[in-house]
Amino acid sequence: MPHPVITDLQQRYTCKKYDPSKKVSKEDLEVLLESLRLTASSINSQPWRFIVLESDEAKERMYRTFEQKYHFNQALIRDASHVILFAHNPHYSREDYERVIEQFVADGRISPEDREKAFRSFMFAQMNTDDNGDTSIWTKNQLYIALGNALHTLARMEIDSTALEGIDVPLVEKEFARELNGYKCEVALAIGYRHADDPNAKLPKSRLSGEGMVLRV
């Protein structure tokens, strides 16, 4: 019997056709959102924002952003139960980290007197900030940890999903400018339940053997 973690990862797959009549329950969605909130990140920076498209109107707005590019992903947006825009803060600042530190105090991780000491970790953000104050490479790395976490959480709940880098970034950022509020969205996640004739569901899992990938020393 494989370990349950391995079973989750073997059974999850990229859904290519959703059953539009099946919706992810409110309760399951809350579990997913809580798993996103609990995602680990460098210095606990949490430089992300998740925009959940649940209304038909919001999904229609996203659907329209596929008019010029990535048509092959468009039907997923229409038929999936929900689409989540994964966004990161491209200018992570000391003020952003201050919120994290205040939460450390509120959660009893540090005493109020140790606030300044806690700011020492901000060095990691500074090291990853370019001359224009751009932190995108670093903050996007953190965001992808949340994406990986979501894929496994959904597998555990037997909810199907599709990670989507095939989105028209300028159009998405224009359409959802208000919700993104300066954050960048370069990846989305469709979730729902597979259609009975999703061709991808029947394919065997395929991965490199691991030879040369894992070195034990």
Ligand X SMILES: Cc1cc2nc3c(=O)[nH]c(=O)nc-3n(C[C@H](O)[C@H](O)[C@H](O)COP(=O)(O)O)c2cc1C
Decide if residue 187 touches ligand X (CB under 6 A).
Answer: yes
Q: Which stretch binds ligand X (CB under 6 A): 45-53, 110-118, 131-139, 164-172?
A: 164-172
Least distance in Å: CB of 166 to ligand X? 3
Options 75, 152, 166, 194; binder of ligand X; rule CB under 6 A = 166
**Quick one: 86 or 138, whose CB is closer to ligand X?**
86
Q: Centre a 10 Å sphere on the Cβ of residue 181 and count the other Cβ atoms it contains.
A: 11
Decide if residue 114 touches ligand X (CB under 6 A).
Answer: no
Options 165, 174, 177, 182; binder of ligand X; rule CB under 6 A = 165
List C-alpha distances in Å: 58 to 52, 78, 198.
Answer: 9, 10, 24
Decide if residue 105 touches ligand X (CB under 6 A).
Answer: no
Handedness of CA 38, 42, 45, 47 (dihedral sign): negative
- The owner of tokens 């210095």 is 43
Burial class (CB in 10 A: 0-12, 13-18, 19+), 6: exposed
Options 153, 162, 173, 198; binder of ligand X; rule CB under 6 A = 162
Half-sphere exposure of 1 (CA within 13 A, CB side): 3
Decide if residue 13 touches ligand X (CB under 6 A).
Answer: yes
Amino acid at 158: E
**Quick one: 29 or 143, whose CB is closer to ligand X?**
143
Amino acid at 208: L
Binding mask 54-93 for ligand X (x = CB under 6 A): -------------------x--------------------
**Quick one: 35 or 44, whose CB is closer to ligand X?**
35
- The owner of tokens 């900030």 is 129
**Quick one: 24 or 147, whose CB is closer to ligand X?**
147
Joined together, the tokens standing for residue 118 give: 């806690």
**Quick one: 51 or 187, whose CB is closer to ligand X?**
187
Decide if residue 129 touches ligand X (CB under 6 A).
Answer: no
**Three-state secondary structure call for residue 99:** helix
* Closest CA relative to residue 85, chosen from 4, 217, 174, 203: 174
List contacts with ligand X (CB under 6 A).
13-14, 73, 162-166, 187, 205
